Structure 1
């Protein structure tokens, strides 16, 4: 699963290279990346983007998540993580005590709210017990609604694992999620499960494989769903599709695939969700969340100025969206500003991400990487960097 890392992604890459006895020239050649870029990433003059991290991961025989560095778990959460792993392992072993439906649905709502607020520790604290109760409930009731409830809990397990780069748990969670929705088939649940499964491919650095999952799921959703359910399913899959397209090695192909998914998402959002984004089963889709994904995709395609153009009305775009979407969008804008040389704007957006979701920012690879580069580029003491250093635990 990889060793937990307290360092930012670019510094972690340097450690991985040195552990293997490779020179910068050797690793750059293996990854088909310029030596100059690798050198700048390692010393902190450039951020390590997810696409470049995936390229180095392939060269090193690692996932993109392993290159970015698995987040360390705080001591208070170690027992909770152990309990969660045990609950995931016991997916087909329901408890003997009957589960209370009302209590389970209340707990699912509480986890959904904590997830939206990016309260990572609260999600981890709730999930082990909820997963066991939801497992017992689904086996006992054996209805589509009960299995869909369990699938949503597994989706939250995937979300938590992906945020920490626990790739073994993320991949197991999406397998369990798919299994749950197949017990009493629910087409919308299948689409959401496919979206999360494609996310595991994304975190592993396999954008091509993830796109195959997305396109197959879109075709199935279009043939099995109708009305708003169909629009929502196709929309959330398009969001995942555009993100995957932005991470393709071939940026020409990536741009073509991204535009296909962007056009479809925008069309569905305008037609069905013009009144505002919908939040269903811990998924969000509508015009606003589509815009945040377009911003991220333009950036991943190596077009920071286009990303910043999308962000011109960022406050309006983010208004009403949960912290779990606000913080990553601010971090993407911060990375785009760094790419065009605007350090002050990058710092302002990094600070805004910390304000919106401090628990997420602490473990988010982009937050740690943007901070590292800003600390490296600033040649004098900066009060805001000092404040963020204290919050993040990363030295200047």
Structure 2
């Protein structure tokens, strides 16, 4: 799959024409209206994840390919090749002793780069960290050692999924699951299941993703019953799985079923989050009341309920206080998407600009960020001064 600088809606037109399909033919196969497809292609409507998944199935490609694989700098290509090599060598540990403190320091640095979306630094760090974490896990052969290796693979998955490098994402979650299975580790298995369900989300197969989430939740409950998991670790496992569940549910094609399933996961996530007065950072993930809020807002937008999404808070900045840039920027993008659905172009542009200011690298590779920008530029007919400023900031031409 090649990279593209196109926004998702424009990429749909490119993929359709490359296959010699008419808009009418594609619309019929995807079960969407010709009017909607036409508006998506020209930039008058944003391409939603659910419609992207339907179009992907009709075209015979993944949703990730419809959204477009994000490009990287030329200097990063060699480092990515080194990362792929390290993933392949998962059972070939390097012959050197590695101290636990070194792995912990590497994971802390990876977490910082992830939270601040410093992609180039993260790509440079991961190959060596993965090889050293592999050597350490083999040497100590403890649940903690294998969990640290799984956390590295989880970060690799995050990097790959955000850029829609789905071959690497699938390999990463497979290795992550392998690592946590080396020693009994219910929490690690739950986090690995959460990431694996994410690959189904990226491919547009939300039904299978939901099945995996529910199976993982049942496993957590079984571990709790036999006293293998309890307290904050149990709440973290349940909470993280339900965050993934609500996102998947919000993208079901049947919106009545989507709403029912989403509410089930939202309620469970809220209940788990109640055990954390402040959001917790653990294993490269964030969980608590504020991150649950960000997921609920995004889910309600996916459900086609922008008023409900905006009604969740009267002060977005305050609701996001303390969260990393990786959560703040996408939430402003989702808020902008809700405002766009309600006809508030100025508000949408303001929130999109905030997203780019908070985390420019994240906003640039975020498919909905690019899509909202494209629709705003079309609706404003490219004459808005703030839009011109954002075009320069983002590097996306009007």
> Which TM-score band (shorter chain)?
over 0.9
Q: How does 1:111-122 map to 2 (within 5 A)?
A: 111-122=110-121
TM-score using structure 1 length: 0.98
CA distance, structure 1, for counterparts of residue 47 and residue 32 of structure 2: 12
Q: Residues of 2 paired with 1:337 and 1:136: CA distance?
A: 49
**1:368 equivalent among 354, 367, 370:** 370
How much does 1:61 deviate?
1.1
Q: Tell me how far 1:90 sits from its aligned partner.
A: 0.7
Deviations 1:353-389 (A, max 9, x none): 0111111111111111111111111135223222222
> Which structure 2 residues correspond to residues 233-382 of structure 1 after superposition, within 5 A?
233-270=237-274, 272-273=275-276, 275-379=277-381, 381-382=383-384
Gap regions ≥5 residues in structure 1: none
In structure 2, the gaps of 5 or more residues are: 224-228
Aligned counterparts of 2:386 and 2:171: Cα–Cα separation in 1: 40
Contact 2:382 2:388 in 1 (8 A): no
Partner of 1:134: 133
Whether contact under 8 Å (1:47, 1:369) holds in the other structure is: yes
User: CA–CA distance in 1 between the matches of 2:58 and 2:312?
Assistant: 33
- Across the aligned residues of Structure 1 and Structure 2, the Cα RMSD in angstroms comes to 1.0
Map 1:56-205; keep pairs closer than 5 Å.
56-205=55-204
Q: State yes or no: 1:18 paired with 2:17.
A: yes
Separation in structure 2 between the aligned mates of residue 61 and residue 268 of structure 1, nearest angstrom: 38
Q: Counterparts of 1:337 and 1:94 in 2: how far apart (Å)?
A: 51
TM-score, normalised via structure 2 length? 0.97
2:381 alignment partner, SS class: coil
CA contact (8 A) 1:7 1:394 kept: no
Number of corresponding residues: 393
Q: Is the 8 A contact 1:311 1:333 kept in 2?
A: no
Say if 1:295 and 1:311, in contact at 8 Å, map to a contact too: no
CA distance in 1, matches of 2:114, 2:37: 35
Instruction: For residues 307-355 of structure 1, give each alpha carbon's deviation from its aligned partner in whole angstroms, at most 9, with x where no partner exists.
Output: 1112433122200001000001000001111111111001001011011
Stretch of structure 1 that moved more, 375-384 or 10-19? 375-384
1:393 Cα deviation (Å)?
A: 2.5
2:226 alignment counterpart: none
Superposition misfits of 4+ residues, deviation over 2 angstroms = 379-384, 390-393
CA–CA distance in structure 1, aligned partners of residues 382 and 366 of structure 2: 25
